Amino acid sequence: MLRINDQISIADWELTEQFVRASGPGGQNVNKVSTAVELRFEADRSPSLPGPVKARLKRLAGRRWTKEGALVIQCDETRSQARNRDIARQRLADLILKALERPKRRIPTKPTKGSQRRRIEAKKQRGEVKALRGKISDD
């Protein structure tokens, strides 16, 4: 059971972990021991997440979201399998917490009359400066 907050907790059947060999430093250990973890969360089928949260989670997950509706998190930061497992679970919890935040609705604003007037005055002034750069005609 992975606890996200007071209302949301993820059951063990929704999570599957697969341990694979990690890349990078580690000497002979890296060739023998499968320390990297691949945490798979069946987000689309999860009864613990409401629909809007699933939609926001899908957008936040990006490439980590599969066609089947699962969220895959990989971790091979440390040489310890247990530590990588904890890090992957924490990343999942952080991502879900971020998806729980409802984005603020954007309120469209209008420029003030004063700012519009100042903008037009600046444009006129700039136009006059450029007009003075023209060729001088001999009359």
Q: Each residue of 9-41: pLDDT tens digit?
A: 777 777 888 888 777 666 676 677 788 888 898
Instruction: Read off the pLDDT of each residue in 115-119 and give the average, rounded to a whole number.
Output: 97
Strands of the chain (E only): list them.
2-3, 9-10, 15-20, 36-41, 71-75
User: Under 8 Å CB-to-CB from 78, ≥6 apart: which residues?
Assistant: 35, 84, 87
pLDDT value, residue 127: 94
CATH assignment at residue 91: 3.30.160.20
Whether 136 has a pLDDT exceeding 80, the answer reads no
Query: Each residue of 58-90: pLDDT tens digit?
Result: 888 888 888 888 889 888 888 788 888 889 888
pLDDT band for 108, please (50, 70, 90 cuts): very high
- CB of 76 closer than 8 Å to CB of 35: yes
In a domain, 13, yes or no: yes
In a domain, 138, yes or no: no
Angle (CA) 47-50-55 rounded to 5° is 115
In a domain, 117, yes or no: no
Domain interval for residue 57: 2-100
pLDDT value, residue 25: 64
Backbone dihedral region for residue 42 (phi beyond 0: left; psi -120 to 50: alpha; all else: beta): beta
pLDDT value, residue 134: 76
What total number of domains does the chain contain? 1
Give percent of the chain with pLDDT exceeding 90: 18
Nearest C-alpha neighbor of 49 from the set 66, 74, 73, 70: 70
DSSP state of 68: T
